[in-house]
A = this chain, B = another copy of it.
Amino acid sequence: MFKKVLIAEDLDSISQTIIQTLENLSITDIQHVKYCDDAYIRIKKAQAENEPFDLLISDLSFKQDHRENKLVNGEELIAAVKKTQHTIKTIVFSIEDKSFKINSLFNNLEINAYVIKGRNSIKELEKAIQSVYNGNTRILLPHTTTNSITEKSIIEIEAYDISLLTLLSKGLIINEITTEFKKSGMLPNGNSSIEKRLNKLKTYFKANNNVHLIAIAKDTGLI
């Protein structure tokens, strides 16, 4: 079993349970931090001392407080950690159940497992740890994502749409988005193309207008 495990989880009401779960698996060296920055430092340090962590169990969203942090969420943390220690195994333990986001974590960050916080997630987390230790990857133990978008859709929605919706949600009008896209080299960037894309999104999400579309995008966690 894993020897040295780091937990990145801000809520103490949850981290305590994770620690206990790890103890039940006879893992002796369990460390816990409440901030992403701290997690990164710990991993760096352990690496420098030639006693690197075997496994990182991380939440995705961390509460903001008085402290200024460079890494503000689990995605940034994992991306940073993988750059410095690519061999480390990673399990994400989060309440997020949108398959869009989960898939992107497997594809972009190459995490080893994803466990959705739920009514029976402790056992699932335990299983996930076992599986990852046995060398398996792409593990997800869900009630396969209830209120998320279907698989097909996810493929169609890309970074372009996210940018578009994000700018729209920030109050920019189409013209301004066009200018913005031209600045950042995002293509296509004509007024009409952007309108057309918005129309596709509206059709897809069954939205009556832009306002409705943004509301839906917020609800589904797309932006």
Which residues of A are at the interface with B, using a C-beta cutoff of 8 A? 10-14, 16-18, 20, 34, 63-66, 93, 95, 117-122, 125, 143, 146-147, 168-173, 207-212, 214-215, 218-219
Q: Tell me if A11 and B118 are in contact (CB < 8 A).
A: yes
A11 / chain B contacts, CB cutoff of 8 Å = 14, 95, 117-119, 121
Q: Among B65, B118, B143, B146, which residue has its beta carbon within 8 angstroms of that of A119?
A: B65
Please give the count of copies of this chain that the complex contains: 2
Give complex CA distance A143, B67 in Å. Answer: 12
Q: Among B119, B146, B211, which residue has its beta carbon within 8 angstroms of that of A34?
A: B119
Q: Tell me if B66 and A215 are in contact (CB < 8 A).
A: no
A170 / chain B contacts, CB cutoff of 8 Å = 208, 212, 215
Given the interface pairs A65-B143, A122-B16, the reply to whether A215 lies near B212 with Cβ below 8 Å is no
Q: Tell me if B212 and A13 are in contact (CB < 8 A).
A: no
Having A13-B14, A13-B17, A34-B119, one finds 12 other A-B pairs with CB under 8 Å, namely A12-B119, A12-B122, A13-B121, A16-B16, A16-B20, A16-B122, A65-B118, A65-B143, A170-B215, A211-B211, A214-B215, A218-B218
A122 / chain B contacts, CB cutoff of 8 Å = 12-13, 16
What's the nearest-Cβ distance from chain B to residue A11, in Å? 5
Q: Tell me if B13 and A18 are in contact (CB < 8 A).
A: yes
Give complex CA distance A125, B118 in Å. Answer: 21
Give complex CA distance A143, B179 in Å. Answer: 41
The residue of chain B having its C-beta at the shortest distance from the C-beta of A18 within the complex is B13
Most buried by B among A119, A121, A172: A119
What's the nearest-Cβ distance from chain B to residue A206, in Å? 9
Give complex CA distance A207, B95 in Å. Answer: 30
Q: Tell me if A169 and B14 are in contact (CB < 8 A).
A: no
A119 / chain B contacts, CB cutoff of 8 Å = 10-12, 34, 63, 65
